[in-house]
């Protein structure tokens, strides 16, 4: 059934529950390092390993093009993620990143990049235990090379390179079900430009609704309700770090962020990540909003539209007002920034505002996984506070 995953230190389907006592590394200390390989696994003849330097413009373009044409699609192959170069640089060149964890496969004769898998270092809190991990993302094999077992080879190679830095755990997400999810989250969508969303087939009008009625339903105020909301500034980093750290510490799975991490992941970046704070009269930051820009390409373009502009909810903290009021303003800010739709997962407290703010449940799931870490029980989405880009 899972010829590759059965060989890996991950929870298997049908495995007996071993209770709280068994929580921890599946393949512990000594055994894990015995497993560590000293040479890369072999690729089919004609292919070779490389590292992708995302600060090099030529490489950035190759990674961008591989993903643009071959990365994640929805179940009906209508939309494909369209990560921008700036976004990829942000997602991959985070504090402490290792060039070798951006693994590529090239076709020797032409030097064409045909597959990648990436990792960045992150400190992750799992049920209160802080672990240095790799966050794995952007696993992608060119459409013409699918089903040749290249993905397992990529996973083995990145595992080897991560282990070489003395890191033995990883966190990753996928739309597909693999052995074995620790949590399942759902995508929810809030229309900002309903007319465009219908035209491109992202949404349908309910049977009893006309377009003009739907436009009314999704209409938003032109400006946020909260006057004290402003873009996050560099000088806010210490307070945002404190606010966020306190908030995240109550979850079973959450990133542990230093000021440097917050500066990297949460300071506004044009066209990539949007962050806002509420500062009170005493100069105290009480609330925080963030979302990132991840457009999708419209695969069978039948209309004038080429791209779906989607904002994805990132980390949000409300202390001076109800979360639903803060997120109502997040929708307005996304609309002001010309997004067509605001997407979120039902992580953290997000389920509490979905209905009131007119989100609809999407057709996509996101499964969360840990590599080489056993939990005694699955987590509820509401206990997960880790958002991977």
The interface partner of residue 265, options being ligand JJ1, ligand MYA, none and the CB cut-off 5 to 8 Å by kind, is none
Our CB check for ligand JJ1 shows the closer of 317 and 357 to be: 357
189 interface partner picked from ligand MYA, ligand JJ1, none, CB below 5 to 8 A per type? ligand JJ1
Which of 88, 113, 162, 200 binds ligand MYA (CB under 6 A)? It is: 162
- DSSP, residue by residue, 318-358: -SSS-HHHHHHHHHHHHHHTT-SEEEEES-TTGGGTTTTTT
Q: CA angle 1-69-274, nearest 5°?
A: 100
Q: Is 76 in the site for ligand JJ1 (CB under 6 A)?
A: yes
Choose, by CB under 6 A, the member of 25, 32, 50, 78 that binds ligand JJ1.
Answer: 78
Pick the binder of ligand JJ1 from 240, 273, 357, 366 (CB under 6 A): 366
Q: Which does 54 bind (CB under 5 to 8 A by kind): ligand MYA, ligand JJ1, none?
A: none
- Please report how close the Cβ of residue 122 comes to ligand JJ1 at its closest, in angstroms: 13
- Binding of ligand JJ1 by 75 (CB under 6 A): yes
176 touches ligand MYA (CB under 6 A): yes
Pattern 358-377, ligand MYA, x by CB under 6 A: -------------xx-----
Residue 250: φ, ψ to 5°: -90, 0
Kindly tell me which of 23 and 74 has the beta carbon lying closer to ligand JJ1: 74
Residue 308 CA to its chain's centroid (Å): 18
Cα–Cα distance, 16 to 81 (Å, whole number): 37
- Residue 146: Cβ within 10 Å count: 10
Chain centroid, CA 145 distance in Å: 25
102 secondary structure, DSSP code: E
Choices 231-239, 329-337, 363-371, 376-384 (CB under 6 A): range interacting with ligand JJ1? 363-371
- Residues that bind ligand MYA (rule: CB under 6 A) add up to a total of 35
Binding mask 311-350 for ligand MYA (x = CB under 6 A): ----------------------------------------
User: What is the closest distance, in whole angstroms, from the C-beta atom of residue 138 to ligand MYA in the complex?
Assistant: 5
Nearer to ligand JJ1, 11 or 80 (CB): 80
Q: Rounded to an integer, what distance in angstroms lies between the CA atom of residue 164 and that of residue 66?
A: 27
How crowded is residue 196: how many other Cβ atoms within 10 Å of its Cβ? 18
Among 87, 90, 172, 276, binds ligand MYA (CB under 6 A): 172
Residue 313 touches which of ligand JJ1, ligand MYA, none (Cβ within 5-8 Å per kind): none
- The residue among 7 and 250 lying less far from ligand MYA, judged by its C-beta, is 7
Instruction: Report the C-alpha dihedral over residues 367, 370, 376, 377, rounded to 10 degrees.
Output: -10
Take residue 302 and report the two structure tokens written for it: 């039948």
Which residue stretch of 134-142, 188-196, 276-284, 306-314 sits at the interface with ligand MYA (rule: CB under 6 A)?
A: 134-142
Of the ranges 26-34, 74-82, 111-119, 207-215, which one interacts with ligand JJ1 (CB under 6 A)?
74-82
Question: In terms of DSSP H, where are the helices of the chain?
Answer: 29-35, 57-70, 85-92, 150-163, 194-199, 211-218, 237-248, 259-266, 323-336
Residue 208: how many CB atoms within 10 A of its CB?
Answer: 6
What Rg, from alpha-carbon coordinates, does the chain have?
21
């Amino acid at each position: 059934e899972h010829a590759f995953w059965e060989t890996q230190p991950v929870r298997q389907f049908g495995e007996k529950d071993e209770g709280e006592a068994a929580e921890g590394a599946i393949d512990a200390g000594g055994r894990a390092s015995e497993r560590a390989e000293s040479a890369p696994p072999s690729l089919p003849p004609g292919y070779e390993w490389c590292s992708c330097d995302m600060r090099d413009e030529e490489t950035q373009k190759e990674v961008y093009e591989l993903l643009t044409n071959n990365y994640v699609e929805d179940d009906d192959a209508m939309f494909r993620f369209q990560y921008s170069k700036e976004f990829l640089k942000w997602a991959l060149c985070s504090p402490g990143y290792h060039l070798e964890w951006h693994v590529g496969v090239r076709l020797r004769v032409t030097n064409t990049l045909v597959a990648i898998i990436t990792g960045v270092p992150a400190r992750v809190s799992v049920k209160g235990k802080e672990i240095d991990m790799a966050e794995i993302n952007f696993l992608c094999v060119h459409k013409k090379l699918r089903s040749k077992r290249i993905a397992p080879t990529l996973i083995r190679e990145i595992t080897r390179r991560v282990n070489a830095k003395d890191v033995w755990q990883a966190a990753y997400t996928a739309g597909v079900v693999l052995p074995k999810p620790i949590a399942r989250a759902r995508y929810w969508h809030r229309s900002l430009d309903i007319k465009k969303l219908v035209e491109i087939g992202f949404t349908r009008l309910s049977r009893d609704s006309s377009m003009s009625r739907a436009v009314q339903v999704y209409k938003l105020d032109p400006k946020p309700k909260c006057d004290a909301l402003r873009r996050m500034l560099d000088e806010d980093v210490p307070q945002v770090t404190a606010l966020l750290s306190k908030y995240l510490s109550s979850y079973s799975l959450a990133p542990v962020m230093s000021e440097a991490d917050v500066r990297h992941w949460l300071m506004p970046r044009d066209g990539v990540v949007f962050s806002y704070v509420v500062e009170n009269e005493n100069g105290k930051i009480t609330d925080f909003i963030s979302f990132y820009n991840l457009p999708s390409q419209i695969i069978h373009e039948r209309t004038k539209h080429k791209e779906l502009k989607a904002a994805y909810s990132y980390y949000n903290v409300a202390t001076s007002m109800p979360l639903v009021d803060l997120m109502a303003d997040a929708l307005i800010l996304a609309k002001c920034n010309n997004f067509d739709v605001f997407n979120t997962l039902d992580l953290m407290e997000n389920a509490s505002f979905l209905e009131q703010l007119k989100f609809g449940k999407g057709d996509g799931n996101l499964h969360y996984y840990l590599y080489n870490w056993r939990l005694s029980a699955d987590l509820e989405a509401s206990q997960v506070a880790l958002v991977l880009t």
